[in-house]
Every structure is written in structure tokens, then in C-alpha cells.
Structure 1
Amino acid sequence: MKLNWSIYYNYLLVLVAFFSTSVGHAQNTQITFTGKVVDKSTQQAVAYATVMIADNQTKKAISGTTTLEDGSFTLETTASNFFIEVSFIGFEKRIIRPKSLIGPRIDLGRLEIQEDAQQLEEVVVEGEVSKTEFKLDKRVFNVGKDLSSAGASALDVLNNVPSVNVNIEGQISLRGSQGVQVLINGKPSIIASDESNALGTITADMIDRVEVITNPSAKYDAEGTSGIINIVIKKEERRGLNGSISVNTGAPNNHSIGISLNKRTEKLNLFTQIGAGYRELPNDIESRNSDLINDTAVFTSGEEFRNEAYYNFVLGTDYYLSSTSVLTLSGNFALEIEDQPSTTNFSSFEGNNMTSQWERTEITDATNPKFQYELQYKKDFKGDEDHVLLFSALGNFFGKDQSSEFTDTTISGLDNDDAQLTRTDFKESVFTFKLDYTKPFSETLTLETGAQYVFNDVSNDFEVQDWINGTFVVDPGLTNIFEYDQKVLGLYSTGAYEGEKWGLKAGVRMEQTNLNTLLANTGEDNEQDYTNLFPSFHSSYKFSERVSLQAGYSKRIYRPRLWDLNPFFNIRNNFNIRQGNPDLLPEFTDSYEVTGIFFIGKTALNLGVYHRYTTDVIERVSSFENNVNTTRPENIGTNATTGVEFNTKYSPAKWLTFNADFNYSQFSREGVLQDIDFDFNANRWSSKLMTKLKLPAEIDLEATGNYRSRYQTVQGEISENIFMDLGLRKKLMKGKAILNLSIRDVFASRINENQIAQADFEIYNRRQRGRFVAFGFSYGFGKGEAMQYSGGRRR
């Protein structure tokens, strides 16, 4: 954005020079000046700098030009009493007063200009403010240098985006609903999938903007019932060698180092990222399973650890085939090495009497390789930058080779000594092919059309061995090979009119889905083949520069994921088991919304009303037997949600900014499962307030408070949640180096609690990760900015 403003600024000066009337000092001899403008500190060429000849007496421009890509310029004049000025935004002006004018052509040589610390600071401060823009069918959150995101991952950035929440487990919700599809640069990615949980491999300073699409048009994949979040990665536009290095440390142990490099020439852009680190993620857990009929209970408490060393390597290139077409080839390799030394304590009761105590220890080792590669071709047609053809082929692979050893040791009471071994060999491949064509017929009319084919192939080999009579024996009831194969073909077309006052966009998408699952050990298979149409409609009207209105409708789908379908169940805790359901059907949602955008003074207000109606809702339902809680996803009836959303940004002073976000929804559930009535009405709300302060000595402070209300589920309720994050930043070396301090969950209050209360049983679960403190240093070189590398999240 800084480059564009500089171009406009420089061109304006040139125009002033050409049209100036102050050229009264003409002479008969024309002199031609040549030279090259370079950055004094790096000796790199400065493109688009302004070189102006001005009158010595009036100081008005006589003539001028801008430098080329290599910093060179040519400038002619017939004046006799003048000086030459070289300027560029972010740099100090340089004045040249030629002492002698000998010959018709004078070479000024290399003209060095140096950075203006004050101007640069002003530009940096302006760029730190995250801003939200409103488009016809989406909201765009332009990511600034928010302190809570310093040294953090994409998940932390998302938690600062209006309407978006990320819980302690990294699950993303939009307006309080999960089922969100997360895209990277408009395309599916294993980094953003539910199965990989790897959004942490994208660092905050790599993100240019986040697009929140609550009612996606037919152009987008119909997956995701509550909408789409598109994370757009920055595209480096600077010439020469740029880069940054970041070092972070924290408590609990969280240490990393990352290096980012970018080398760009006129035809070629090479980019790479290398990162490595180690972290520990403790997790305090507590649960209680109560059998109300037999008056028995099992209490669980303990601390789980997930220690991980991780390595990440990204390499890619953009090759400019011509001024209008570019070919991109990139690859990413990541490796995670996990260690999970966890201990859990169990106590069983009959009435108020404890009958036994035992301890369950876990030793788990896992190696998780990840690969991603992409080939993309983009063609911009001459004469119209919005006339675009884009083809991409994306391949992803994720693997997990994991082995676990569980040992139960009796402390008192009944004999609970036992041992189990588990082995997991998981492999997933996802291939996505996409073709998009955008054709503007005029400044107001645009046609979009395209196709997408996604192929997902998964194999999960899971084995359990029990300790029986002094030896480990394979348990055939828990051991299985589950195969999952899904193919989705989509075709779409949209048309849009966007005038000065109002806009209209309508389209339709057809998707054909073929899903096959197989439980190899038993031969149990399931095949689903269905075709659906997904229409969309969006409209906007601009009443004035300060008041606009948006309205939209779209139909969405949520296809059951691998872990929703796989009937195997884990044994990490033998009293709380999760199963899948291979017979699950997809959810379908009709989504409506109306949003008003108001600008009052310097404050922007966004107020929206929405309604969603979902059929075949997928809910996890608990069944209870012998104090064992087994949860299994089921299709249970319908859900109608109506809500209101409000967010705003207000700056009462240059040193103080508030960002507020509020969401309230009321929902009505209707459904029956196995003669059990699940009808009920409930509501939920959430709020978020971010406060930014600019302190003396180039120190910035940021505090973000979150509150999420208690709400009812089909069998119980989720408790309220309140927590705060803090960030502190100190700039050094004219902003090229930055010290960051961040504290997440300052008061250790981010606690996940849920309770299920039924006529014959009760279940209580509590989970807490606690306070995280991180300290980092980053330094950008060339024209690079600091990169905060925090590694990837684990599966």
C-alpha cells in the first residue's frame, strides 16, 4: 500500500512540474540530466522516486520525471537559474545545485537518498491499525501489527477478527457456530483443515488480510454451514533481497527461530521460510461420570502434556512469463515430533464411599510429516486488470506414525492393574484442481464462472493390544483399518452489477459428491452419492457516503468429516470415549442476513441481523453404561437460529483506540432420536473488546477481553468463558527491530466446562491450559518487515 501511495504522490509532483507557469527563466540551450537514485543504506535502486527541476527564486516546479525500475532517470530543461530535487515518500529530500553547466548532457551519477526516520514512523503507525472494509458479498479485515498477534499464529489473528472466535482447542466459529470452511488464498489447504489443525504454521506477519464471508456467493465451495474465512497471504512486491529473522521464547517452554527470505527481479520472485522450535503444552483435565440409578461415580483428574519439536521449510517461486501472466510453483515440508508424558488419576465411588484408586500413565511418541505443493497459473488480460483467468493444482499429504503405551497402577481398593498398547498409522492425501474465469463487460457488469474438483483419500490403521496372562494380545473389537474416499465436483456461474449507488450479485453452484467409507476388518461399508444446487443472492445500496445496506442469501452444506464417520474409538481415557458414525448424512443450511454500515465521525458501526435454518443437524450424543460415557455424532432434526451482530471501532484520541464486537443469537431445536425428544429453545451471546494505547518511548500496549455466555446443548450446557490477552511492543532501530511481550489468558480464566444432565446419568468435564507468556525479538533487513515465527499446531 505504501508503494501505491508513493506512485500517486510522485506522479502528482510531475504533473505540477509540467503544468507550472513559472518557467520564465528560459534559455536558448537545452540541457539533459541523467543519473540514478539509490538507497544510501542498502545501495539498492529506488524506483518511482521524483526528480524535479525547480526555479531558485519562486521554488516552483519547472519540469520533472520519475525514476525507472533500476532507479535511472532522464530530465531536460532550458532554464538557467534552478535546482534539482530528489524525493520519495519515507526518504529525506535531496537538493542538487549544479555549479557549472558544461555541455548539453550532464551525468549526475549515483544520487544517494536516506530514510527519513520521522516519515517512516508515521507510515508504520498508520499501517498498524487493522481495518475492516465492506464488499458486496464479504467483509475484509486488513491485518495491522496488532500486539496480541505478535509472535503468534493465524489462530491468534482470527481471534481478533470481528464475528470470529477461536476456542482453547483451536476450533474456529463464526457468529458462535462451527462448521466454518477456512481457505488459504481462496483455496482449500491441509493447513486449514479440521484434521490437520496446522494453522499455526502461518504466522501473523505473513497475513495480508482475512476475508469473512458469512453468506458466500456461488463462486465459493458450498462447504461450511456458517460461512467461509479466507486467509490471504502477503505477496512480496519489493525488489532485491528482503527478509527477516525472529527469535521467541516463552513459558511454559515455547522456543522458536524463524528466517524469511525473498529475492525478486523483474522476471523472477524466489521466497523461502525456514523455522524450527520446541514447545510444551500442558493441559489440566477433570471429569466426573455419575450413574444416578446405581449411585456410583468415577472421578478423573490429571495433567496431559503434548511436547513437540517442529521444523518447517517453505520454498517457492513466481515466474513472470509476461507482463500479464505469472506461473507460481511452491512447496512446504513440515515435520512434528511429539512426546506425550501424561498422568491421570482415577477414583471410583459407591455412594460416598471410595472403592478404589488407580493411576493411568501414558507414553506416546508420534512423527507427523506434512507436504504441500501448488502449481498456479494466472493470466491478466491486457487493458483490464479485473479480466482474469486462474488455474491452480494443489496437493497435500499428512501422515501420523504414533505408538502409545498405557499403564494402570492400583493405589488402593480394587485391583485395577492393567496395560494397553496402541498403534496408529494414518495417511491422508487431498488434491484440489480449480479453474476460475472473471470477465468484466463494463465498469458495472461482471461475469464469473469456473469449476473445482477435490479428491480426498484417507487410510487410518488403528491397533489396540491388551495385557492378558503376561503378554500383549490384539483386541479385535478395537483394532480396525478405516478407509475414506470422497470426490466433489463443482461448477458455478455468477453475474454482478455494481453501480455507484447499488449493487446486485446472483449465481448458482452445482456440486456432485461421491463418498465411500470402508471398515476393512468387518467389511462394513457406506456409499453416498448426491447432487445439489446452491443458489446465492447479494445486494447492496449506498444511501450516502456514511450509510450503506447489504443483504444476502446462500445455501450451504456441511459434509461429515473423517472423524465424524470413523467408528473406531480412542482409549486414552477408558471412561470417556469418542466414536464416529459412518451413516451420518450432511447438514444443509439456508442463510439470510441484512447488514447496515454506518460512519459517524471517525467511527464505523456495523449492525446486522441474520437467520439460519439447518436440517439434519449433526450433534454429539452421549450414551452411558457402567460409568463409561460414549459420545457419537447423530443427525438430530432441525435448528433455526436468529441473531443480531454489532461491531465498531472508535478512536477518541490518537493514542487510544477501541474495537468492540457483540453477537447475540436465539435458537430453536427440534428433533427426535430413538424416541427421545430433543426439542428446546435457548440463546447465547459473546462480546470482545480490544483496547490499544500508544505510550511514550515508542511503546505500544494492547489488551483484549473476551466473554462467551453459558448456553444450552441437546443434552446439557456449556459454561461461560471470560479471559484476557495482553501485548506490549517496543520498537528499536527506526522500527526495523521489535521487542514483543505477550501474555495470553492473563488471569488463567480461560476454562472449558461442559455438563450433561440426564434422568439416569450426569457427566462433567473441565479443561484448562492456563497462562502463556512469550517474549520475542524480530529484525527485518533489506526492505523486509519482522516475521514472527511460532511454528505449527499439532494434530
Structure 2
Amino acid sequence: MRSLLFSLYFLISFCGLSQEQQTIIKGRVLEQETNMPVPYATVVLMDAKQNQAISGTTTDEDGKFTVEASVSGGYLQISFMGFKTLTFKELDFSKKETDLGTLYLEQDTEALDEVVVRAEVSTTQFKLDRKVFNVGQDIASTGVSALEVLNNVPSVNVNIEGQVSLRGNSGVQILIDGKPSVLADESSNALGTITADMIDRIEVITNPSAKYEAEGTAGILNIILKKEEKKGLNGSISLNTGIPDNHSVGVSLNRRTEKFNLFTQLGGGYRSLPRDNTSENRNLETGISVLSEGTEYRNEAFFNITLGTDYHINDLNVLTLSGNFAYEVEDQPSHTYFSSYQDTILESEWNRKEVTDATNPKWQYELNYKKEFKNNEEHTLLFSALGSFFGKAQESEFNNITTLGSAVNPDQQTETEFQQADYTFKLDYTNPLSEGFTLETGVQYVINDVGNDYEVRELDGENWVVDPNLTNNFEYNQKVLGLYGTGAYEKDKWGLKLGLRVEHTNLHTLLTNTKEDNKQTYTDYFPTVHSSYKFNDDFSVQLGYSKRIFRPRLWDLNPFFNFRNNYNIRVGNPDLQPEYSHSYELTGIFKLGKATLNSSIFYLYTTDVVERVSIFQDNVTLTTPENVGTNNAIGFELNGKYSPLDWLSFNGDFNFNYFQRDGDFEGQSFDFNGQRFSGRLTGKLGLPADVDVEVSGQFESDYKTIQGDNSGFVFMDLGLRKKILKGKVVVNLAINDVFESRIFESIISNTNTYNFNHSKRGRFFTLGLSYGFGKGEAMTYSGRRR
């Protein structure tokens, strides 16, 4: 394409020139430091008198070039981003052919530094069926995990419990490099092993095309990880420390040769994540209340390594083999204070202490084969096979110490053996049949095999006795076969993409203790439509529709889930059915001088909505997921960026949706209307001496739930960066949740009961230092998870 543009440009230039002797100039361009070829370097033959281009080309994969022109004089310029421009003024145009031999480009450290500066701020791009959030080196990302990065992405919110929602809807499918991954499993907290420096971009797909599996009623978040391919040896090293404990070291290395690209990332450290909790369960009929207040900790030592290689068999075939291994050792002490009241009279008090130890091994391996066809580089066949495993071996002991009144609860022990194995096989074929029309088709087969062996023991005198009512072994096996086809027509102004996906699901769960067997088999059709029209360079619109599904996961189906606070227990529902959604969206993209503005109007209709319903009995709140009716939501979203000055920029987004719920559960009506909105504003200020300051503020409104209300909140993050040695060394300081105002608070109130829950993580300080070598850029690595 670049050669074609050069040819058109110089063809016009030739119209005004007289015929001269035909001259051929050729040579080869290498890097001075590594002796590696420089592909796609710009080679231009310039007119010395008028100082304008006469002819030009780009170097090939081996760094070779050939320039032809009919001239009697001039000079040659060779340039490439990040290198000093090479100029030849003494050329002999009397010869028909001149071979300049091997030429060397010298690295321009100042130019490289400028490139890094331009890439520091995260930006959002709009494509036919998705928004692409390019992850920059925002200061607020210092020492944070993928969850915190997601919380900076427009349309995405992550609460302090780590639950990810898209436009207020928690039915989100999270992918890694376009595929399901154990690292994207929210329930295992594995997103913490992915850190900000490892992420290249995040694709927000609110209306996915049929190419993607239909899981996730809210849409898809696709996390694309970095895989450096700069030739030679490149890398970076980082150190981080923080309060509360957040200490880590990270290394990223890449070695590229003609045939192989070897890449690795590894890190390790220790972190402590305290969380303050307060709750109240009140029986309005009997006047009995149980209050609890305490702090939970998650102290964790961790290690993570990614290793892989690309083998370029030839120009058209690439084989990739990669693997990831992570290991965590957890210590989760907690101390909760309980008090029981009859009306306003204090009747009893006791402390509940928890000591929990756990080991969490995680690994993943993947084989990819990509074939390109000679007629078009976008004509491809891609096969991938992925396997992953997540395990948890956990033991807990709960001791209850009565300080007032009679003993209420016995001491307890729990033991968990959890294993999850996932396998994904994909075959995708893409064929650009013409310049504007592209056909895609493929097949995917996903196997999820999970087992959770859970045992509860109570102290009876001096003996620990197994409680059969709380002990279970739950097995979960799901297989999904998907077939899809899409056709897309896209020109400069107008584009249209149609698709259909068919998925067959086979789900089997078994509670081995009671022999409760649940089998579900169903086939679904998922059509998709996407269209775009560009009115001019400053205004374009997009239109999309998709049908999606949310399949209940293990944690939704397992009858036993949480036993930490035995007055607030979460359990699963093995009879839970999938929910379905129909999503419609209209987006406008505007450019207004130094500002860009993107706005969307969307409508989401969801059936068999999965909601967590709380049942209050004997002062215990039991929360379980249920299918409760339908949800109609219409919303408006606004994203923008404004850079009034070179050293000042603002990014912001606002999301509003109005919803109507219809449904009932066990004779209770859940019909109600509500609204929810959120916003984020980030300002970046560039100061002298390579110092940057970043301030980010975010707010969440309160909103109604099917049984009560969740409170709103406002919080702020602050960051400071200093660059040393032209960006090769970077020092970062970040303060997350400056005013400790980021909370989760819910109230469930009816005529008979009242339930209140409040949680807070608190303020986090992180200091980071990183160094980049070769062509590697200084990064910000940390293992902080939440």
C-alpha cells in the first residue's frame, strides 16, 4: 500500500519534469547497533534546487531498496521512525546504476523519547463493530492490575469487589487475545496476574459480530496483551513498592531474529489487600438485630511467568507456541466483631476470627498456526488450541470467642479442593473476495470441566465433626459448539457487516452427596448486524444489533459458595437458566477542532434476568441468584477528549441508562423503574523537567435493585511521573482513592426485614521505578490485583 501511494505521488511529480537519463540507485539498510535489517524505511530521491521529492520507495523485509528516476542531479534521504535520517548528496547520475552497498541507520534517542511521549495517554478508536482502548502509560496505572485498567476504560466499571460491568450490566464476557482464558476468570481473581504494562489495548465490543462466541449479555471485553517484535534484544525491568504492602519486581524480555521471535514476561512479589466490612441484619417483627464489623485481609505472595515463541516458517506461515504459569500463596486473616440486640438492649457479643491458607496454581498453554495467502495478506487461515487450569487448595478455621452473653456459634473449619480445566479449539478463515467485500467463517468448540469439593466441620467438645448439610462435592461440565459466518462490505464512506452464529450447549451438573443431577441441552441462533457511514472527515455514524446469552457459571450454580460470615451467606442455584439479550446501538463520532466527541444511544432488552435475591430467615441473610423477569434499558453514552494546549489534555466519559424491570419471585412482585449514571474525567498536565501530573475523578450514582438500593460515591486518583535519561528510566508515584471514598453499600428493606452492607478498600500508595534497554520502553509493572 505504501509503495502504491509513493508511485501515485511521484507519477504526479514527474508530469512537470523533462526527460532525463534513467538512473537506478539501490542499497541495503541495517541497524547500526544490531546489524539487523530495517524493513519499511522510507527512501526518497530529492531535487536539490526545488527541495521536493522526485522519486521514492520503502525497504523490503531484508532492508533492500531500489529507486528509479530520470534526473541529472539530486540527493537521497533514508529515514525511519526512531532513527537519525541518513542523507547522500554526492551521487553520480552519469551512471545507469549506482549501488550504495550496506548503509547503517543510527538510533535517535531523542526521537524515540518523543514517540513514547505521544503514546503515554490512553486513547480510544472506533471501528465498525467495536471501540478500541489503546492502553498508554497513564500515571494512574502505576502498580495496578488489569481490573484497575478496565476501570479506566470508557463504558466499563469495576466495583471494589472486582465485579466488572459494562454500561451497568454485569453480564460481561472477558477474553484474552480473543479467546477464553483462565486469566480472565473473575471468580478466581486471576485478572490480578495481568498487569498494566502487559496490556496493549482493550477492545470494548457492546455488539459483537457473529465471529465471537455469544457469551455475555452486556458484550465482550477483549484484553490484547503485548508481544514485542522489535528485532534484537529488548526489554525492561521494574520495581514497585506500596502501602498497604504492594511489593513486586517485573522483567519483560524479547529477542527477535529472522525466523524466531522469543518473548517472556515474569514477575513476583507480595501484596496485602485489606477490606473493611460493616453489616446489619434486623428482623422488624421480632426486634432482633445482629450487627457485624471487621476487616478482612488477603495477604498474597505470587509468581507469574509467560514464555512463548513465534516461528516464521516462511513469509506466509507462522507457528506460535506460548505458555503462562502463575502461583499464589494466600494468607487471609480476618477479625469480625458481632453484637446481638433485642430492640435496643444488647444481649450478646462475640468475636469471629478467621485463619485461611490457600495455594492457587494457574497455567495455560496455547498453540497457534496462521497461514496467509499470496493474493492478499488479509486472506488468512488461523487455527488455535488452548488449554488452561486453575486450582485452589484452601483450609480455613473460624474461632468464635463470646465476650458477653451466652455462646451463639460453634467453632468451624472448612476445606476446599477446587479444580477447573478449560479447553478451546478454534478454526477461523478470512477471505477478502474483493477490495470492499470480506467473508469470514469458522468453528469453535469449548469444554469447561470443573470440580469443587467442599467440607465444613464443627467443633463438638474436643472433636471436629463433619456437617453433612453444608458439605458437598459439586461437579460442573459444559460443552459449547459454535459455527459462524459473516459477510462485510466496507468502502471509504459506507460499511455493512451481517453475521449469524449457531451455538449448541450441553451442560451437566452433579451434587454428588445428594445425587442432585441437572442436565440442560439447547441450541440457539445469534444474528448480528453492523453498519457505518462517514459523512465527512469530521463526522461519521455506526449502527449495530446483536443477540447474546449469559450462561450460569459454576459460582452461580454451586449450592454452597461463601461461609466467611455465617450471617451473610452466598449460595448458588443449580436450577438457574441462561439469560438472553437483544442489543441495539447508534453511535456518532465527531471531531470539533482540538476535541473529539463520541456519543451513543443504546437499547438493551434482556429476558430471564439473573439477579441475586436475598432471603432473610433467623437473622441470617441468604443470597442466591434467580431468574427474575425481564429488563428494558435505554441509555446514552458520551466520550470525549480535548487538548487545548500541547501540555494539557482532558479525557472524559458519561453514561446514563433508564431501566424498567418486570417480574416476580415466590409471589413477590419485582416491577419497578430506575435510573443509573456514572462519569469519569481525567486531566493530564505536562510540567518542565519531564514531569507529568495526572488527576482522575469518577462518580457512580445510587440506583435501585430488585429488593433495595445501592449507594453512590465519588472518588479520585492522583499520579506523578518523572522521566530520566530521555525516558529510559521512569519514576512513578500513584495514590488511588485519595479520599477513601470508593465504597460498596447496599440496603434491602421491606415490611419485615432490614439488611445493610458496607465495604471499603481504602487508600493505596504505590511508588514505581522502571528501566528499559535495547529498544524496550520503561514500563510500570506490579502484581497488585485489586
TM-score normalised according to structure 2 size = 0.93
Q: 2:142 is aligned with what amino acid?
A: A
Q: Which residue of 1 aligns with 2:660?
A: 668
Distance 1:62 1:217 in 2: 45
Q: Which residue of 1 aligns with 2:267?
A: 275
Give the conservation status (yes or no) of the 8 Å contact 1:409–1:416.
Answer: no
Query: Of the candidates 195, 212, 216, which is equivalent to residue 208 of structure 2?
Result: 216
The 1:394–1:36 alpha-carbon spacing in structure 2 relative to 1, beyond 3 Å, is: closer
Q: Which residue of 1 aligns with 2:396?
A: 404
Q: 1:139 is aligned with what amino acid?
A: K
2:696 corresponds to 1:714: no
The 1:584–1:323 alpha-carbon spacing in structure 2 relative to 1, beyond 3 Å, is: same
2:558 corresponds to 1:566: yes
Q: Which residue of 2 aligns with 1:702?
A: 694
Distance 1:511 1:548 in 2: 33
2:720 corresponds to 1:728: yes
1:208 positional shift: 2.3
Give the conservation status (yes or no) of the 8 Å contact 2:208–2:528.
Answer: yes
2:778 corresponds to 1:763: no
Q: Tell me, what secondary structure is at the counterpart of 1:119? A: helix
Distance 1:409 1:528 in 2: 46
Q: Which residue of 2 aligns with 1:548?
A: 540
Q: 1:272 is aligned with what amino acid?
A: T
The 1:672–1:108 alpha-carbon spacing in structure 2 relative to 1, beyond 3 Å, is: closer
Query: Of the candidates 572, 578, 588, which is equivalent to residue 580 of structure 1?
Result: 572
Give the conservation status (yes or no) of the 8 Å contact 1:202–1:792.
Answer: no
1:144 positional shift: 2.2
Q: Which residue of 1 aligns with 2:342?
A: 350
Q: 1:708 is aligned with what amino acid?
A: E
The 1:151–1:469 alpha-carbon spacing in structure 2 relative to 1, beyond 3 Å, is: closer
Q: Which residue of 2 aligns with 1:600?
A: 592
2:311 corresponds to 1:319: yes
Q: Tell me, what secondary structure is at the counterpart of 1:120? A: helix
2:32 corresponds to 1:39: yes
Distance 1:200 1:694 in 2: 30
The 1:32–1:588 alpha-carbon spacing in structure 2 relative to 1, beyond 3 Å, is: closer
Distance 2:92 2:577 in 1: 85
The 1:51–1:219 alpha-carbon spacing in structure 2 relative to 1, beyond 3 Å, is: closer
Q: What do residues 609-658 of structure 1 show as CA deviations (whole Å, max 9, x unaligned)? A: 11111111111111112211111111111111111111111111111111
2:448 corresponds to 1:470: no
Give the conservation status (yes or no) of the 8 Å contact 1:38–1:110.
Answer: no
Query: Of the candidates 248, 264, 281, which is equivalent to residue 289 of structure 1?
Result: 281
Q: Which residue of 2 aligns with 1:750?
A: 742
Q: Which residue of 2 aligns with 1:537?
A: 529
Query: Of the candidates 170, 182, 201, which is equivalent to residue 190 of structure 1?
Result: 182
Q: Tell me, what secondary structure is at the counterpart of 2:657? A: strand
1:682 positional shift: 1.0
Give the conservation status (yes or no) of the 8 Å contact 2:291–2:339.
Answer: yes
1:268 positional shift: 1.1
Give the conservation status (yes or no) of the 8 Å contact 1:737–1:780.
Answer: yes
Q: What do residues 171-194 of structure 1 show as CA deviations (whole Å, max 9, x unaligned)? A: 111111111101111111111123
Distance 2:739 2:106 in 1: 46
Distance 1:74 1:346 in 2: 81
1:442 positional shift: 1.3
Unpaired runs of 5+ residues, structure 1, are: none
Q: Tell me, what secondary structure is at the counterpart of 2:216? A: coil
The 1:217–1:113 alpha-carbon spacing in structure 2 relative to 1, beyond 3 Å, is: closer
The 1:714–1:776 alpha-carbon spacing in structure 2 relative to 1, beyond 3 Å, is: same
Query: Of the candidates 290, 301, 308, which is equivalent to residue 300 of structure 2?
Result: 308
2:611 corresponds to 1:632: no
1:66 positional shift: 5.5
**Higher mean displacement: 298-307 or 383-392:** 383-392
For residues 370-449 of structure 1, what are the structure 2 equivalents within 5 Å?
Answer: 370-416=362-408, 418-449=410-441
RMSD: 3.0
For residues 32-111 of structure 1, what are the structure 2 equivalents within 5 Å?
Answer: 37-39=30-32, 46-49=38-41, 69=61, 86-95=78-87
Q: 1:594 is aligned with what amino acid?
A: L
Distance 1:785 1:8 in 2: 32
Distance 1:621 1:720 in 2: 20
Distance 1:489 1:454 in 2: 7
2:519 corresponds to 1:527: yes
Give the conservation status (yes or no) of the 8 Å contact 1:14–1:52.
Answer: no
- Number of residues paired by the alignment? 786
The 1:518–1:31 alpha-carbon spacing in structure 2 relative to 1, beyond 3 Å, is: closer
2:214 corresponds to 1:228: no
1:114 positional shift: 3.6
1:90 positional shift: 2.7
Distance 1:242 1:63 in 2: 34
1:513 positional shift: 0.8
Give the conservation status (yes or no) of the 8 Å contact 2:24–2:66.
Answer: no
Give the conservation status (yes or no) of the 8 Å contact 2:173–2:215.
Answer: yes
Q: What do residues 252-306 of structure 1 show as CA deviations (whole Å, max 9, x unaligned)? A: 0101111111111121111111110100001111111111111111110111110
2:749 corresponds to 1:782: no
The 1:527–1:64 alpha-carbon spacing in structure 2 relative to 1, beyond 3 Å, is: closer
1:672 positional shift: 1.3
Q: What do residues 122-160 of structure 1 show as CA deviations (whole Å, max 9, x unaligned)? A: 322222233322222212222222222233222222222
Distance 1:595 1:60 in 2: 42
The 1:403–1:20 alpha-carbon spacing in structure 2 relative to 1, beyond 3 Å, is: farther
Unpaired runs of 5+ residues, structure 2, are: none
Q: 1:255 is aligned with what amino acid?
A: H
The 1:99–1:290 alpha-carbon spacing in structure 2 relative to 1, beyond 3 Å, is: closer
Distance 1:77 1:591 in 2: 56
Q: What do residues 512-531 of structure 1 show as CA deviations (whole Å, max 9, x unaligned)? A: 11111111011111111111
Q: What do residues 485-527 of structure 1 show as CA deviations (whole Å, max 9, x unaligned)? A: 1111111112222233322222211111111111101111111
Q: What do residues 354-389 of structure 1 show as CA deviations (whole Å, max 9, x unaligned)? A: 111111111110000001011111112112122121
Q: Which residue of 1 aligns with 2:676?
A: 684
TM-score normalised according to structure 1 size = 0.92
Distance 1:176 1:147 in 2: 26
Give the conservation status (yes or no) of the 8 Å contact 2:25–2:100.
Answer: no
1:744 positional shift: 0.7
Q: What do residues 57-81 of structure 1 show as CA deviations (whole Å, max 9, x unaligned)? A: 7767788776565657788999998
For residues 609-648 of structure 1, what are the structure 2 equivalents within 5 Å?
Answer: 609-648=601-640
Q: What do residues 638-687 of structure 1 show as CA deviations (whole Å, max 9, x unaligned)? A: 11111111111111111111112111111111111111111111111111
Q: 1:200 is aligned with what amino acid?
A: G
Q: Tell me, what secondary structure is at the counterpart of 2:522? A: strand
